[in-house]
Structure 1
Amino acid sequence: MSLKINSPLVSVDWLYNNLENENLTILDCTIPKVTNKSQNSTVKKQIKGAIFFDLKNIFSNKNSPLPNTVLSAKEFQEKAQELGIQKNAALVCYDDLGVYSSPRVWWMFQLMGFNNVAVLDGGLPAWKAKKHPIESPKNQQPKKGNFKVNYKPEKLIFTKDVLNSIEKKEVLIVDARSKGRFYGTEPEPRNDLKSGHIPNSVNLPFTEIQQNGKMKSKEVLEDIFKDYKNKKQIIFTCGSGITASILALGAEIAGVKNVAVYDGSWTEWGSTTNLPIAL
């Protein structure tokens, strides 16, 4: 029987119990953390049977001057098929840092109209803590998949859309960066990027919806996002679209709809001339 995922977040025990399901595909979505300058020399390990989902080099538009720019629907479908992803797959996304880059991949599949996908709560650290099976990465040549895109353009927002939304009270722009970056009291990790935030946006650092590398409970997230439900649209932004997706995941768990991610985020806004900036 095909495996159906009924929540945007699954536990390591759920994954372990379904590890042998023929429809399960585990995606290692790890990327380096942009604010972490230290090099990790630990030997790479992955969850047993996982496939590396190369967010930086394959599933981002390399022709864009901005980091992490989402692929077109056609390109995403082709790359997902090349990775061996099937249209009847049950996808579980995880990363080595807990819950960091995996929500970006979860959100990308949502953007592409695929809903049988979840994030592994706690990621590889939580998996290893339970002593569930890990292995060294393998160079696999997967059989081509038949994954199909059903693109949902309302989930992706561009600079012009954000600019047009600044004065709209029915739209809420929410920034996932730290308070220091939001208010310009600490430098941006990317060189030559202005400090501050989008006017009329609010700050919800992604770390405030997490605890010990996991997402906070559904009840706590519902309380955090309770005032968001009366808005016509929620636009999540961050540095380059990664941690904005963590907020999108939290909102989904809390039952908040009409959510979109500003793909260029502060990297685009803070490097574009003639755009308003608040401190």
Structure 2
Amino acid sequence: MTLHDLVSTTWLQHHLGDDGLVVVDASVGAYRGRDGIPGALRFDLDGVMSRHDTDGVHDMLDPRDFEQRLRDLGIRDGDRVVAYDAQGLFSSARAWWMLEAAGLEAAVLDGGLPAWIDAGGAVEPTRERAERAGDVSVRWREDAFVDADVVARAIASDEAVVLDARSFERFAGIAPEPRDGLRGGHIPGSVSLPFAALECDGRLQEVGCLADRIDEAAGDAPIITTCGSGVTACVVALAATLAGRDDVRVYDGSWSEWGRPDSGRPVALGD
């Protein structure tokens, strides 16, 4: 059975416990560490599932390191993985993008833990790892993540449209950045497409609506998504993928890298 990129709570209720189906909790920040879907494993984006030796906050691990983290979690070759988070649809898309980049079959639970609970689903403490040992081998997709140099070249050459998933207020430099020390504003030439505008009550909008929003923002150009730290950029990447786009990449360091005063990168204000 093919695993679609977005699954419903009804689908998961029918398939929870299937052989080879793994559920992971990718919650971050204050939502991390809460009870979750029965059997779920902690996909710790604030911890071992991200690099912490770079200018970014949630930067992607080296493929070999990521492979080992997945094995430590108990992921095996052939497993299908459904990611969710406790905010609805926020950080789970980051886990989905990472897993897809590593060649795994993965999906996001639409509406996340709130939707699961609303549907009558039980909760229990999230597990740190599976009882079985993992043996997954990653098959890395080199173009899934890009760095600041690629973003700068793409904008200068008009070879891609950069979509910024942060709020418009942060994009315009009106609202302060939540991380200390970052400049306000956005990457010159980028386009504001807040991830929240693609959702309704923690669920993604219908595919037709998503396609309209993506087409309005990017036209038919290839897409690079960005945000504050590479997390909600993946919500836009998910929306674009559901809308039928196969030309999407994620700027890993995002504003936590570009927006640093010593990054040497230009900043634009307003719209």
TM over 0.5: yes
- Equivalent residue number for residue 45 of structure 1: 35
- The answer to whether residue 15 in structure 2 is matched with residue 27 in structure 1 is no
Number of equivalent positions: 267
Aligned to 1:154, what secondary structure does the other structure show?
coil
Q: In structure 2, do the counterparts of structure 1 residues 11 and 270 end up closer, same or farther at CA, with 3 Å as the change threshold? A: same
Q: CA deviation at 1:145?
A: 1.1
- Equivalent residue number for residue 5 of structure 2: 8
For the 8 Å contact 2:74–2:129, the answer to whether it is kept is no
- Equivalent residue number for residue 214 of structure 1: 203
Letter in 1 for 2:94: R
- The answer to whether residue 96 in structure 2 is matched with residue 82 in structure 1 is no
For the 8 Å contact 1:225–1:256, the answer to whether it is kept is no
Match for residue 121 of structure 1 among 102, 107, 110: 110
Letter in 2 for 1:255: G
d(CA) in 2 for partners of 1:273, 1:72? 22
Letter in 1 for 2:211: E
* TM-score normalised by structure 1 residue count: 0.91
Q: In structure 2, do the counterparts of structure 1 residues 140 and 193 end up closer, same or farther at CA, with 3 Å as the change threshold? A: closer
For the 8 Å contact 1:229–1:256, the answer to whether it is kept is no
Higher deviation after alignment, 99-108 or 142-151: 142-151
Letter in 2 for 1:80: L
Match for residue 249 of structure 1 among 210, 214, 238: 238
Q: How do 1:1-279 and structure 2 match up within 5 A?
A: 3-5=1-3, 7-32=4-29, 44-114=34-104, 116-138=105-127, 142-227=131-216, 228=218, 230-231=220-221, 233-271=222-260, 272-279=262-269
Q: CA deviation at 1:139?
A: 5.6
d(CA) in 1 for partners of 2:103, 2:23? 18
d(CA) in 1 for partners of 2:17, 2:61? 31
Unpaired runs of at least 5, structure 1: 33-38
Unpaired runs of at least 5, structure 2: none
Q: In structure 2, do the counterparts of structure 1 residues 124 and 152 end up closer, same or farther at CA, with 3 Å as the change threshold? A: same
Q: CA deviation at 1:138?
A: 4.4
Q: In structure 2, do the counterparts of structure 1 residues 171 and 142 end up closer, same or farther at CA, with 3 Å as the change threshold? A: same
For the 8 Å contact 1:87–1:146, the answer to whether it is kept is yes
For the 8 Å contact 2:27–2:84, the answer to whether it is kept is yes
For the 8 Å contact 1:83–1:142, the answer to whether it is kept is no
Cα deviation per residue 1:19-40 (whole Å; 9 max; x = unaligned)? 12111100011102xxxxxx67
For the 8 Å contact 1:229–1:257, the answer to whether it is kept is no
Letter in 1 for 2:60: V
Q: CA deviation at 1:210?
A: 0.4
Higher deviation after alignment, 83-92 or 135-144: 135-144
d(CA) in 2 for partners of 1:20, 1:137? 15
Q: CA deviation at 1:266?
A: 0.7
Aligned to 1:46, what secondary structure does the other structure show?
coil
d(CA) in 1 for partners of 2:129, 2:203? 30
Aligned to 1:170, what secondary structure does the other structure show?
coil
d(CA) in 1 for partners of 2:140, 2:156? 28
Q: CA deviation at 1:225?
A: 1.5
Letter in 2 for 1:15: L
d(CA) in 2 for partners of 1:128, 1:61? 32
Q: In structure 2, do the counterparts of structure 1 residues 65 and 172 end up closer, same or farther at CA, with 3 Å as the change threshold? A: closer
Q: CA deviation at 1:229?
A: 5.5
Q: CA deviation at 1:91?
A: 0.6
Q: CA deviation at 1:257?
A: 1.4
Q: Report the aligned-residue RMSD.
A: 1.7
